[in-house]
Structure 1
Amino acid sequence: MRFPPPTHRLLGFAGPKREAEEIKSKIRTFLRDELKLELSESKTLITHAASQAAHFLGYEIRVQHADTKITRQRRAVNGAIGLFVPRQVIRQKCALYMSKGKPAQRGPLLHDEDFTIVAKYQAEFRGLVQYYLLAQDVFRLGRLQWVMETSMLKTLAGKHRSTVTKMSRKYKNTIETPDGPRRCIQVTVPRDEGKKPLVARFGGISLKRQRTAVLTDVRPVMASMKRNELIHRLLAECCEICGTRTNLEVHHVRKLADLNRPGRRERPAWVHLMAMRRRKTLVICRRCHEDIHAGRPTAPLRK
């Protein structure tokens, strides 16, 4: 049975449904009389674990049954409680990266750096995988990985006016992991003055169940990267207008509506760039920053 937030509980009971109803009634009375709380009937359900799945904190919980799996001369799986990734979750997450039934590019990312695009996709995928590491069938997220990788490659191809195949060939890589070599998409940004290069990669994550994984009591969310995105752009050490790698600063406007103020005859290139990215910040060099504040034309946008 499930209780509404702020407290989540799942109660297992072996016995007839009539006794389960009696227990639920006693819990309702205790909460009302002792704690002055109301039990939500729509959220507190009685589920038969052998024939139905209980949905709890994003997981599917049900009793397992497999007569063909023999361990130490007995059917060790039968009757054991298992955690599973809901099929609906996989469909919903895949839909975020699809259009008309196929993986599609993400328009708002077309004007980002390749490093930032790959880092965003990886952060979103890693967050979901880490949440479902306790699931028996975490490997089913391989479908989501393929959809996200194809969407990411299409986004990169759209940005560079290239093809998915060429982007895959350009950035494909193989890395060593505790579970052996894994294929991934990797973008490396070299830096000067002996600094280590910045590396963003998508993939290379094992979709293998971890029985000892520790999870927080929150529902999984897709990372927006809004908080860390500016940091990634600063670390890339590259002017987003002319490509200069020295004396970088951040130009920002109070709100996006300021970019479309009436009375401006022709919007400068940097205004178009911020409007297309839907961002209030630009990482630029000192020279471009001075040109913007002086009302002078900036250097041509790099391709």
Structure 2
Amino acid sequence: MIKAKSRPFLKHGKPERRPDLMNLTDSRIIGVYGAQWRGYLQYYLLAHNVWQLNRLQWVMLTSMLKTLAGKHRSTVSKMARTYQATTDTRHGPRVCFQTSVERAGRPPLVTRFGGIPLKRQKKAVLDDRPPAPMAGRRHSSELLARLHCGRCELCEQRADVHVHHISKLADLAASGQPQPQWTQLMVRKRRKTLIVCPTCHDHIHHQQPANTPT
């Protein structure tokens, strides 16, 4: 079972990043991995050897950190230091990896991977609902998630954001002009959309070449 559940996160026998998730926000990436891990763990909490799932947990954690590292062009160790936290459980504090998104007028949105003790629970209640799919490439879902964050992807300030859209990434390079920060960001992320605040939106409008279709 552990080998079968680990297979989607492996390549050539080693934990590998998920390219299909790298365009999501950090919160969404951790949330997808965390939800899948909780689904596996809660289903097998009745087993006397539930502790053996620590192998699957390590595989999923390494895959998640590699996915974050690939997105930010960083290292696994830096991502681990950035998102590592501690959560309290009835069995004592446990290490987890989490991110928090501030929301106006509401508590922060916390997404977490790990932090659940690998202890057998004889009275665990199984919920056999189908797990949510892991794939995150659906453009509409990704764009909505980025909009709901309410953060400008250029200046990283929170504001009433807008979507700046271009028809083709190739048009940016074809302009023949030095690329400003916003075009470099879109090319690096391979995105035809950019979530920006009103100030950055006006700034982009003035810098955008007249022959670039939107």
**TM-score relative to the length of structure 1:** 0.52
Q: Deviations over 1:42-69 (max 9, x none)?
A: xxxxxxxxxxxxxxxxxxxxxxxxxxxx
Select which of 162, 165, 178 maps to 1:249. Answer: 162
Q: Which structure dedicates a bigger proportion of its chain to helix?
A: 2
Q: Deviations over 1:2-60 (max 9, x none)?
A: xxxxxxxxxxxxxxxxxxxxxxxxxxxxxxxxxxxxxxxxxxxxxxxxxxxxxxxxxxx
Q: Which residue of 2 aligns with 1:181?
A: 93
Q: Report the alpha carbon displacement of residue 203 of structure 1 after superposing the two structures with TM.
A: 0.7
Select which of 9, 12, 17 maps to 1:105. Answer: 17
Q: Deviations over 1:206-229 (max 9, x none)?
A: 3334434132365x5643355865
Q: Which residue of 1 aligns with 2:116?
A: 205
Structure 1, gaps ≥5 residues long: 1-86, 298-303
Partner-residue secondary structure (3-state), 1:175: strand
Q: Which residue of 2 aligns with 1:265?
A: 174
Q: 1:180 to 1:228 in 2, by over 3 A?
A: farther
Q: Which residue of 2 aligns with 1:224?
A: 135
Aligned residue pairs, count: 199
Select which of 137, 146, 152 maps to 1:233. Answer: 146
Superposition RMSD on alpha carbons, in Å?
A: 3.7
Q: Is the 8 A contact 1:239 1:248 kept in 2?
A: yes
**TM-score relative to the length of structure 2:** 0.69
Q: 1:295 to 1:168 in 2, by over 3 A?
A: closer
Structure 2, gaps ≥5 residues long: 210-214
Q: Which residue of 1 aligns with 2:27?
A: 115
Matches of residues 38-187 of structure 1 in structure 2 within 5 Å? 87=1, 90-187=2-99
* Larger Rg computed on CA atoms: 1
Give the distance between the partners of 1:251 and 1:178, measured in 2 at CA: 47
Q: Which residue of 2 aligns with 1:65?
A: none
Partner-residue secondary structure (3-state), 1:124: helix
Q: 1:160 to 1:270 in 2, by over 3 A?
A: closer
The sequence identity of aligned pairs, in percent, is 45
